[in-house]
Amino acid sequence: MTTTAAESKQLVGRYLQALSGQPKTAALVAQFVEDAALARHIRDVEAAFPEYELVADDVVAERDVVALRGTFRGVHRGPFNGVPATGRPVSAGLMIFYRVDRERIVEHWMQFDGASLMSQLQARAAV
First-to-last alpha carbon distance for the chain, in angstroms, is 60
Instruction: Please give the pLDDT value at position 3.
Output: 80
Enumerate the domain spans of the chain. 5-122
Instruction: Please give the pLDDT value at position 126.
Output: 46
- pLDDT tops 70 at residue 1: no
- pLDDT tops 70 at residue 127: no
- Report the chain's mean pLDDT, rounded to a whole number: 94
- Measured in whole angstroms, the distance separating CA 127 from the mean position of its chain's CA atoms is 33
Work out the burial of residue 82: count CB atoms within 10 Å of its CB; fewer than 13 is exposed, 13-18 middle, 19 or more buried. Answer: exposed
Query: How far apart are the C-alpha atoms of 109 and 94, rounded to whole Å?
Result: 11
Work out the burial of residue 77: count CB atoms within 10 Å of its CB; fewer than 13 is exposed, 13-18 middle, 19 or more buried. Answer: middle
Instruction: Please give the pLDDT value at position 125.
Output: 52
Give me the CATH topology for the region 5-122.
Nuclear Transport Factor 2; Chain: A, (3.10.450)
